[in-house]
Structure 1
């Protein structure tokens, strides 16, 4: 110990220089380590952002694949003859529904939208073949091949012609691609605007703007109960003042007499309406 102290006394200046060098080196090392850590953090943040961006692009790409036409479908559509185009117009002419309106199909030029228990899915399609037929008198039966992204499916279109030339007749469509495979979906021409009846002044004020409500109800019925022409208020309202919600119900009918059987084919359809007074939006359910 004495030797060490003696050495420091003799070499005091050199010892101070060495100590200073050690302090500078330590400071430089700490600063360098901080810079490395910052760079790594920035790189990790950028990597995470890139991963999120890639994930979003992948999700968008997946959705696009599900809703876009394949090259094969595009070629089929481009090669449609006049009869096929007329068939597409026939499919588009109405809403196809089954099981009391819980299942519907709406056709467009290059895809159809299917509703099953209130949930919608879009399916690109093209007609790859069609065999037209009839019984020689009042019934037309066409066999159609739909090429979808999930494969080729066979559909059967049946039209029982009306004796009245002004009527479109009764049409049905079944397809193995639909949610209810093998079930005949009936065509209905959706009413553009539902007649809303039975509301008193107070009830009207609780449901917001009457025209906005009628438009929203008409759009919903066109997809779920296309044959409905009238909605009659059930005269019961529940109000949640805390959440700003108004809940009530309406009974649908298919003609002015109040008959509801032809709307669904069986039970009387009663729909629940929830109006969000804060957002000004409507939700409908069965």
Structure 2
């Protein structure tokens, strides 16, 4: 994706930041203390200032941070009605696999071409939050070769770009109170690499729907079993509905942990939810995404990324 071609409204948070070399995915819970909400509001209103302070150390490193809020804390923190589609992550139960829902009030998508900048931002952020939050999950991601996941396939090929990007990711006049914002769904997938490597390359390609070496889309299957690519594509009478994926690999060979952190930004939350239903339940039912036989979700969250002006207003309220 060419970052110069990605255009969002000026007031939107930088969900369009091109894929960087490093990232931290940070999910926090707000503690049940009398002063916690005010502390959270103060810190969120200063995220832009913390970002500038860190980004200034290397202006070529593409530093960015996107912050989202969950439905449980939305009204208490923002003091406005929640966006129309915002709700907790709804578990998806298929006949074989399930998408789980896990706790989380705040989501920070921290990224840069230098890991030290991500580290420094997270350090300053958590220092300002103090005891008002606790960490629900922290995952450190990295770019793997030519934008591949640890399964060996190029990830994010079908992302929207140019003028299509804003239409796919940024809420408009259909929800005036949430205009300029974006829904984001997060899931942490852990891979069974031993089982995956036991497959032939041809079997892996049939599951993914793309060739492994050169990322060429494969033809449709003549059977009812659809590929991951097909099941992750949502179409209806209005055409194909895109989301913006900013997935990243994570892992530790020493710990035997290998995975992908899924981040999906969208203008319409139902699009991502429909995608997950197709993957886990199957279409037709029972023909689930075979990638799930080798990749298991251990977290699941839904957040809304408000506009920059909505965050800045927290300082004055």
TM-score, shorter chain, exceeding 0.5: no
Q: TM-score range by the shorter chain?
A: under 0.3
Larger fraction in strand: 1
Larger fraction in helix: 1
User: TM (normalized to structure 1)?
Assistant: 0.27
User: TM (normalized to structure 2)?
Assistant: 0.25
